[in-house]
Amino acid sequence: MTTLLKSATIIDTSSPYHQQQKDILITDGIITKIEDSIENNNYQVVALDNLHVSCGWFDTSVSFGEPGYEERENIKNGLDVAAKSGFTSVAVNANSNPVIDNKAAVEFLRNKANGFATNLYPIAALTQNSKGIDMAELYDMQQSGAIAFADYNKPVANDNLMKIALLYAQNFDGLVFSFPKNNSIAGEGIANEGVNSTKLGLKGSPTLAEHIQIARDLYLLEYTGGKLHIPTISTTKSVELIKEAKKKGLQVTCSVAIHHLTLSDDELHGFDSNYKVNPPLRTKADLKSLIKGIKSGVIDIITSDHNPIDIEQKKLEFSEAKDGTIGLESAFGAINSVLNLQDFIENLTSKPKSVFGLENHSIKENSKAEITLFNPEHNYTFTRADILSTSKNSAFLDKKLKGKAYGIYANNQLILK
């Protein structure tokens, strides 16, 4: 199959055509020609309003539910949502039932994802059943295709266990995650501890809980060596801690969830459980620091932290509802509303792929076509009609967004919304 992308503005700093408007010809999954104008010779033509293209976006924190929680989202629909939201690759968390904590479970995920346009990369559990007691079979799972190890949204409280994991994973260049939360400090907090939690009568979770855990992990990393990734940081101090660690030469990377870049705890005044996330929404000052962290390069990755929750566990009193928001469909429009395209596109493409050791396919001739198609100037209000996920728990409902994904070309497939 031959596909012709017409008048596409290329956003790819590694491409010789960066910021140029070109026609792009793709044959059997390979970019064969990039020119000012290519004549249509019975090709499959894609001509879209204000078409922009970049290297394929990679979301490094996605939950699908399957196996065990298919009512939230199954792999088939999840990958379709990801493709139509502009993601050519997703890293899938281990928070299913059973937990992805062994070789067979990793292979199950990979086999279920065969044949889709969007690539699925399993993040396997760091500990058995994600209980934080015994380390899982890390090497075997990596051999089966796991690209990292994490107990999704669960901190490892045992200092020695985290130390051993960092030491052990070095034998096969494994990447270890540590969720930034100290449960002893956070207690039963469900909102950022501060003015809003006090006004609303919600139990507060102090930022100190995040800082203590990050400080511990950085001390352990300095002692052990190895590679550490800290997912979904949410505070000013967290950015500062990681900045200092990078200055020391430690192999530490971090991500931030899009809702932590765009929404503050001011949203909680309506007690809408869609805003109940983990870590909790922080202050506007934290938002500014996180955005600065993106621009300065301290923060490596932007993720949707897509976490579908069924209505029975989400449409409850705020204190009883389960944490999490979906985010694939709103990801680009939300982040493009607060950052310039040049400030963040690498945090969705080359940087996350580098962190996870994956190849980034540049937009140039004779390169594999792994491309996201989007319009950065489309302004709209995100409504329920924009949600493609099985679960509807979006923190961005009725928010004004800027920019919309058209879809992707990847694995020799064109997927458009």
Helix (H/G/I), strand (E/B), else coil: 62: strand
For residue 387, CA distances in Å to 158, 325, 338, 393 come to 39, 12, 21, 9
Query: What H or E segment, with its residue span, contains residue 165?
Result: helix 159-169
Please state which CATH class domain 2-52+366-416 belongs to.
mainly beta
* Token couple for 144: 């089966």
Predicted confidence (pLDDT) at residue 281 exceeds the cutoff of 90: yes
135-187 per-position pLDDT tens digit? 999 999 999 999 999 999 999 999 999 999 999 999 999 999 999 999 999 99
Taking all residues of the chain, what is their mean pLDDT, rounded to a whole number?
A: 97
212-222 per-position pLDDT tens digit? 999 999 999 99
317-344 per-position pLDDT tens digit? 999 999 999 999 999 999 999 999 989 9
Contact 365, 34 (CB under 8 A): yes
pTM: 0.96
**Structural domain spans, the chain:** 2-52+366-416, 56-355
Q: Quick check: do 2-52+366-416 and 56-355 share a fold?
A: no
Question: Which one of 3.40.50.300, 3.50.50.60, 3.20.20.140, 3.30.910.10 gives the CATH number of domain 56-355?
Answer: 3.20.20.140
Q: Which residues are catalytic?
A: 305
pLDDT of residue 305: 98
290-312 per-position pLDDT tens digit? 999 999 999 999 999 999 999 99
Predicted confidence (pLDDT) at residue 1 exceeds the cutoff of 90: no
Look-up of token digits 């399957």: 66
